[in-house]
Amino acid sequence: MPIGGISTLGISLQQRSIVTRTQTQIGQVTHELGTGFKADVARSLGSRMSEAVELRNAMNNYENYKNSIETMATRMEVMADSLTQIDKYASDAAALLATAVNADSQMNLSIQTGARSALERMMSSANVSSGDRFLFAGVDIDNQPLFGTGEVAPATGRTPLQTMQVMITGTPPVDAASATALTAQIKAAFADSTSVPADLRFEQAFYNGTPKLDGLGAPNPRVSAKSDGETTVPYGMQANDQAFRDILRGLYMVASVDGSTMPKEARDVYFKEAYDAINGGLLQLRKDVAVLGGQQADLDTATERNSLRMKLMNERVVHLETADPYDAQARLTVLQQQLQASISITQRLAGMNLSQYMR
């Protein structure tokens, strides 16, 4: 067979391959024009493909931060509502307690009943949950943070009111001096002081969340979450914070005694300490609420900042991965011309007979 014949047949096959390849390329360019995105991003970007991948990964991270912020914002809102209620209950109890001096027996009983009612309502607010977690329990999210007034604490085998009775019975307030000694012991117990037995301390007898300190005396971690790659928001208020301890101390002091049975000099000392504890707790609570409000404002700022970052990253991804419509149209025109030329050559070759191929 002459060499020229083989060459002619090879050209025919080559043209058919060119037609097929050109049709595929036209399909890809048509896809780019239809979707606005490059048909083969990796091939088009080459060494810059890693930049696109990093941008998309970063965008996914910021989407996760967005979800984290939304979760934190929801929890903070529930916490703020609960703290507002606790403020109201404690304030009402303090106002009632202010009438204790020179009160008659009927009023003293009303004060005790009011303190118990405030405690029960405060428990309901402090033991609030959101989703699958108790919000004021610290990192031990599955634990109800405060024992109810009639709920037995496993570590003591007593209810909180019974624990109060142990302290009151041990140091009966019969005069100003004994009342002072009793209030000091109760204050130490609610501060988890080692000067009182462990089964009388706040974190054993009243509180069931994450302890303030670990076994080595170091602070336990607080609940926190990330609002972006550089910022961690510690938003974990706990029911063993000082504000809770002081308010609960004052309320339990009043709820545990019948003031009408106490000598006046003992009652004045005892109720004044309870009143001061509640008011001191309220002052601290309001400071904590202000901090929480600042954290909520920080989340709003973080949301805006992250949205701007995501917008800028998305613009860069679009710049890398989208097809230029003018360039795509120009390439489509060239490819269509090439296809027409290749088809024309292929058709002419296809019309040749075997003897023409052999020439």
User: Measured between alpha carbons, how far is 292 from 76 in angstroms, rounded to an integer?
Assistant: 7
Using an 8 Å Cβ cutoff, are 123 and 207 in contact? no
> Are 165 and 301 contained in the same domain?
yes
Strand partners, 30: none
Domain that holds residue 340: 1-35+329-359
User: Measured between alpha carbons, how far is 73 from 296 in angstroms, rounded to an integer?
Assistant: 7
> Are 249 and 347 contained in the same domain?
no
Cβ contacts of 98 within 8 Å, gap of 6 or more: 275
> Are 266 and 350 contained in the same domain?
no
> Are 214 and 136 contained in the same domain?
yes
Got the DSSP string for 168-188?
A: HHHS---SHHHHHHHHHHHHH
> Are 181 and 287 contained in the same domain?
yes
* 272-283 core/surface letters (b: 16 or more CB in 10 A; e: else): ebbbebbbbbbe
> Are 13 and 122 contained in the same domain?
no
User: Would you say residue 81 lies in a domain?
Assistant: no
Amino acid at 118: A
Of 93-97, 98-102, 159-163, which gets the smallest average pLDDT? 98-102
User: Would you say residue 40 lies in a domain?
Assistant: no
DSSP 226: E
Cβ contacts of 111 within 8 Å, gap of 6 or more: 96, 97, 99, 100, 103, 254, 259
Residue 4 predicted with pLDDT over 60 = no
User: Measured between alpha carbons, how far is 321 from 327 in angstroms, rounded to an integer?
Assistant: 14
Please give the radius of gyration of the chain, using alpha carbons only, rounded to the nearest integer. 39
Using an 8 Å Cβ cutoff, are 112 and 261 in contact? no
User: Would you say residue 136 lies in a domain?
Assistant: yes
Reduced to 3 states, what is the DSSP secondary structure of residue 40?
A: coil
Percentage above 70 pLDDT, the chain: 71
> Are 306 and 355 contained in the same domain?
no
First-to-last alpha carbon distance for the chain, in angstroms, is: 9
Cβ contacts of 306 within 8 Å, gap of 6 or more: 62, 65, 66, 69, 227, 228
The band of 11, judged by pLDDT with boundaries at 50, 70 and 90, is low
Give per-residue pLDDT as tens, 305-327. Answer: 888 887 887 777 665 556 445 45
Residue 303 predicted with pLDDT over 70 = yes
> Are 297 and 337 contained in the same domain?
no
Higher pLDDT, 64 or 31: 64
> Are 28 and 129 contained in the same domain?
no
Residue owning tokens 């070759």: 349
> With a threshold of 0.85, does the pTM exceed it?
no
Instruction: Give the tokens for residue 294.
Output: 């600042």
> Are 336 and 233 contained in the same domain?
no
> Are 135 and 228 contained in the same domain?
yes
Reduced to 3 states, what is the DSSP secondary structure of residue 218?
A: coil
Residue 52 predicted with pLDDT over 80 = no
> How many distinct structural domains can be found in the chain?
2
Question: What is the distance, to the nearest Å, from the Cα of residue 133 to the centroid of all Cα atoms in its chain?
Answer: 11
Q: What pLDDT does 151 receive?
A: 96
* 194-222 core/surface letters (b: 16 or more CB in 10 A; e: else): eebeeebbbbbbbbbbbbbeeeeeeebee
> Are 109 and 29 contained in the same domain?
no
Q: 126: domain CATH number?
A: 1.20.1330
User: Measured between alpha carbons, how far is 301 from 227 in angstroms, rounded to an integer?
Assistant: 10
Residue 102 predicted with pLDDT over 70 = no
User: Measured between alpha carbons, how far is 195 from 13 in angstroms, rounded to an integer?
Assistant: 99
Got the DSSP string for 109-132?
A: HHHHHHHHHHHHHHHHHHT-EETT
Residue owning tokens 């054993």: 204
Strand partners, 158: 153
Q: What pLDDT does 73 receive?
A: 94
Give per-residue pLDDT as tens, 176-223. Answer: 999 999 999 999 999 999 999 999 999 999 999 999 999 899 999 999
